[in-house]
A and B are shown apart, each in its own frame.
Chain A
Amino acid sequence: MSLRSLLRKEAYWSRRNALGLLLVLCLLPGLFAGSSLLFQDVIPRDTPVAVVPQDETVTEEELLSVQFGLAFFADPVAVDSRETALGQLEREAVYAVVEVPHGLDQAGRDVTFRLYVDGSMVPFKEPSQTIAVIMADQLDARLDADVDVERVIVGNSHDLSGYLVPIALLGVVVLFALTYVPYNLSRERRVLDRVRLESSLEALVGAKLLFFTALVLVPIGVFHAAISLLGYDISAVAPGTVLAVLLTFVTLAALGMAIMVLTRFGSLGRFLNVLVLVVVVAFSGLAYPVGYFSALRRTIVRAMPTHYATILVRSSMLRELPMGAFADWFAGLGLVALGALVILKLSVVYHRRST
C-alpha cells in the first residue's frame, strides 16, 4: 500500500534528520514555554525606578523612607542627581525618576513628589498614571506629610504605533539576518567547489555580507517613507538609527553565516539560525521593556548586545537623541560586530582545515 510505504519513507527521513526534528519538536517548544514563564508578572511590580533628592535639604532618612515605600510596587535605586537619573531614563536603565521633596516627617505639610516618565516609553507611560496614584496612596499612608504626586512626561511623547516602529524595523533586520542570509548562503553549496577553486570562501562570505549590509539600507528607507506618509514625526534615516541597525545586522548576519559554514551549509545550520532568532527575539527586550521582566531574565537581556541596539534605535528614532550621547554603546556594538566577524573568519578557517 503506497500510504504505508510513504509513511515508512517518512520514518527513514526522520531517522536521518533526528537532530533537526529534536530542535523543532523539543528544544523550540521548550524554549518558548520557558521564556513565557520567565515573563512572570505582566503588570510591572519590580520596575527599576530612580529616587533622587529634589534639593540638598532632603535628608538620607527621607530618601530611605521613600525607597522603602516604593519597594511595594517598584525596584527603587538611589541616584545622586536628577541629571544622572534622567540619563538613566534615556538609557532605559530605569523607567521612572521619583524626585523626593524635603519635609516628609512634618505632619500636615503639603509635599509634592515628581514622577518623571519618558514620553517614548509607551508601555510604561500609561501604567505610570496608575503608578502615580498608587505611589501617592502608599507614601501618604507611610509619611507624616500630605503627599501629592505630579507626573512629568520627559521628551517626545508617542503613541503605541509610533513606539512599535523601531521594534518592527529591528525585527525585520533580525529576521533578514538570521533567515534569508543563511538560506541564501546554503544555496551556494552547489557552487562552493568552484568558488573555492576560483576565489575563496572568505571572499564569498565577505561579498555576501557587504552586499546584504548595503541592502539593509532599503528597508530603512522603506520604513522612513512609510512612516512619513502616515504622518508620524519619526525619522528612520537618522545617523544613529542607521548605524545601530547596520551594526546589528552585521553582527547577526556574520553569526548566522558562521553557523552555516560550521554546519557545512546544511539544513541543521538553518535550524540553528532559527533557534538563534528565537533567542534574540525572546531575550533582547525587543517589544517589552526589560524592566518588566523578572530579575533573572533582566540579567539575561542586559547581556544581549541586541538589547542595547534596540534602545539605541528607539533613542534615535523616538527620542531624537544625538549619537554622541551613546558613544560608548555604539563603540560596544562595533566591538561586538568585530567579534562576530572574527567568529565568521574562524569558521571559514575551520572549514578549510577540516576538508
Chain B
Amino acid sequence: MPRLALDGVTKRYGDVVALEDVSIEVATSGFQCLLGPNGTGKTTLLRLLLGLERPTAGAIDREGVTVGSGFQRPCFYPSLSVRENLDVFAHVRDVDDGDWRERLVERLHLRPVLDRRAGDLSGGFARKLDLALALQHRPDVALLDEPLGALDDVASERVLAFLRDYADGGNAVLVSTHRIASFEPHFDRLVVLHDGSVIYDGERGDREPAAASIQEWYVDLVLDSGESPR
C-alpha cells in the first residue's frame, strides 16, 4: 500500500535538534498544510520525506509513492532557459507528456518567459518555474516548501487554485508555510510544527478555533506550547 511517512524520526545537526521523535503520515490525496514558525523544522521534515536527508533516528517510509518537490530556494539550472529546464528535467524523469506540460505553462503563466534565461527570472517567475518542475512528472504527492514565496497576490491566487485542482485530481499537495492566511480556504488537513515537534495534526473542522480567526488560534497554540529545550 502506498505510504509516505516519518516514524519516530529525530534529526540532529551536531548539537542542534531539528526534529524530535516526529511521526507523521502524509495523506496521498487532498491539500495538506504544514504550518510552523520560522526555523521550526518544516524544511528539514520535507527534506527527510524527499529522501534528501537521512534521519539521525527513526524510519522513513516512501513505499510506492512518487514525490515532487518545490524547494524553499527555487532549484533549477540558472544558465538554461525556462523551456530548457523543463525539457531537461522531463527527460531525467522520462516524462513525455506535452499536454500536461502545456497546461503547467499556461496555468502558471510561464509562457512569456519560456525562452528567458532562468537565472534572469524575477523571484515570482523563478518560484513558478520551480513549481512547474515539481509537478511536471505528476507526482502522487507534491511537497512544496513555501510555494507562495515571492509571488504577488494575483499569482498567489492562480497558484493556489491550480494546487487545489491538482489535489482534487486525486493527488496530494503538502505545503509548508509560516503564514496560514493564504492557505486557509484550501487546506483539508493542518499539521502544526513547533520546536521540532508536531503540536497539532487535524482535519479541517476537527477543531473549531476558539479565537476569532485561524491565525489567532495558531498564534495562541504556538505561544501556549512554550519552547521545548532543543
Q: Is B54's CB under 8 angstroms from A199's CB?
A: no
Q: Is A193's CB under 8 angstroms from B93's CB?
A: no
**B50 close to A (CB within 8 Å):** yes
**A16 close to B (CB within 8 Å):** no
Q: Is B54's CB under 8 angstroms from A193's CB?
A: no
Q: Is A355's CB under 8 angstroms from B92's CB?
A: no
How far, in angstroms, from A199 to B89 measured CA to CA in the complex? 9
**B162 close to A (CB within 8 Å):** no
Known contacts A198-B89, A198-B92, A355-B52, A193 near B69 by CB under 8 Å = yes
**B39 close to A (CB within 8 Å):** no
Question: What chain A residues lie within 8 Å of B77 (beta carbons)?
Answer: 191
Q: Which of B53, B69, B78 contacts A355 (CB 8 A)?
A: B53
How far, in angstroms, from A190 to B75 measured CA to CA in the complex? 6
How far, in angstroms, from A193 to B49 measured CA to CA in the complex? 13
Q: Is B71's CB under 8 angstroms from A193's CB?
A: yes
Question: What chain B residues lie within 8 Å of A191 (beta carbons)?
Answer: 75-78
How far, in angstroms, from A156 to B109 measured CA to CA in the complex? 67
| Contacts of A264-316 to chain B: CB distance below 8 A | none
Residue of A nearest to B72 (CB): A193
How far, in angstroms, from A195 to B77 measured CA to CA in the complex? 10
Residue of B nearest to A354 (CB): B54
- A58 to chain B: closest CB distance in Å? 69
**A4 close to B (CB within 8 Å):** no
Q: Most chain-A Cβ atoms within 10 A of its Cβ — which of B77, B93, B137?
A: B77
**B133 close to A (CB within 8 Å):** yes
Q: Is B75's CB under 8 angstroms from A194's CB?
A: yes
**A3 close to B (CB within 8 Å):** no
Question: What chain A residues lie within 8 Å of B71 (beta carbons)?
Answer: 193-194
Question: What chain B residues lie within 8 Å of A352 (beta carbons)?
Answer: 54
**B2 close to A (CB within 8 Å):** no
How far, in angstroms, from A198 to B71 measured CA to CA in the complex? 13
Chain B window 65-103, contacts with chain A (Cβ cutoff 8 Å), 1 for yes, 0 for no: 001010101011111000000000100110000000000
Q: Most chain-B Cβ atoms within 10 A of its Cβ — which of A187, A198, A353?
A: A198
Known contacts A191-B75, A191-B77, A194-B71, A353 near B93 by CB under 8 Å = no
- B98 to chain A: closest CB distance in Å? 19
Interface size of B by CB at 8 A reads: 20
Q: Is B69's CB under 8 angstroms from A194's CB?
A: yes
Task: Tell me whether chain A's interface is mostly helix, strand or loop, or mixed.
Answer: helix
Q: Is B52's CB under 8 angstroms from A199's CB?
A: no
Question: What chain B residues lie within 8 Å of A197 (beta carbons)?
Answer: 50-52, 67, 69
- B160 to chain A: closest CB distance in Å? 23
How far, in angstroms, from A194 to B79 measured CA to CA in the complex? 15
**A9 close to B (CB within 8 Å):** no
Residue of A nearest to B143 (CB): A197
How far, in angstroms, from A194 to B75 measured CA to CA in the complex? 6
Residue of A nearest to B95 (CB): A198
Question: What chain B residues lie within 8 Å of A355 (beta carbons)?
Answer: 52-54
Q: Is B54's CB under 8 angstroms from A194's CB?
A: no
**A109 close to B (CB within 8 Å):** no
Question: What chain B residues lie within 8 Å of A187 (beta carbons)?
Answer: 79
Q: Is B89's CB under 8 angstroms from A353's CB?
A: no
Question: What chain B residues lie within 8 Å of A353 (beta carbons)?
Answer: 54
How far, in angstroms, from A306 to B75 measured CA to CA in the complex? 38
- A105 to chain B: closest CB distance in Å? 76
**A196 close to B (CB within 8 Å):** yes
Chain A window 158-195, contacts with chain B (Cβ cutoff 8 Å), 1 for yes, 0 for no: 00000000000000000000000000000100110111
How far, in angstroms, from A197 to B92 measured CA to CA in the complex? 10
How far, in angstroms, from A196 to B133 measured CA to CA in the complex? 14
Question: What chain B residues lie within 8 Å of A193 (beta carbons)?
Answer: 47, 52, 69, 71, 75
How far, in angstroms, from A190 to B130 measured CA to CA in the complex? 12
Known contacts A353-B54, A355-B53, A194 near B133 by CB under 8 Å = yes
- B149 to chain A: closest CB distance in Å? 16
Question: What chain A residues lie within 8 Å of B133 (beta carbons)?
Answer: 194
Chain B window 35-65, contacts with chain A (Cβ cutoff 8 Å), 1 for yes, 0 for no: 0000000000001001111100000000000
How far, in angstroms, from A257 to B54 measured CA to CA in the complex? 23
How far, in angstroms, from A354 to B78 measured CA to CA in the complex? 27
Q: Most chain-B Cβ atoms within 10 A of its Cβ — which of A193, A194, A199?
A: A194
- A353 to chain B: closest CB distance in Å? 7
How far, in angstroms, from A337 to B182 measured CA to CA in the complex? 55
Q: Is B75's CB under 8 angstroms from A198's CB?
A: no
How far, in angstroms, from A328 to B50 measured CA to CA in the complex? 47
Q: Is B93's CB under 8 angstroms from A198's CB?
A: yes
Q: Which of B69, B73, B75, B92 contacts A199 (CB 8 A)?
A: B92
| Contacts of B124-146 to chain A: CB distance below 8 A | 133, 137
Question: What chain A residues lie within 8 Å of B89 (beta carbons)?
Answer: 194, 198
Question: What chain A residues lie within 8 Å of B76 (beta carbons)?
Answer: 191, 194
Sorted nearest first, the 7 A-B pairs with minimum C-beta distance are: A194-B75, A198-B92, A199-B92, A193-B75, A191-B77, A355-B53, A191-B75
Q: List 10 A-B contacts (CB under 8 A).
A: A191-B78, A193-B52, A194-B71, A194-B89, A196-B52, A198-B89, A198-B137, A352-B54, A355-B52, A355-B53
* Other contacts beyond A195-B92, A198-B137: 13, CB < 8 A: A187-B79, A190-B75, A190-B78, A191-B77, A193-B47, A193-B52, A194-B69, A194-B89, A196-B52, A197-B67, A198-B93, A199-B92, A352-B54
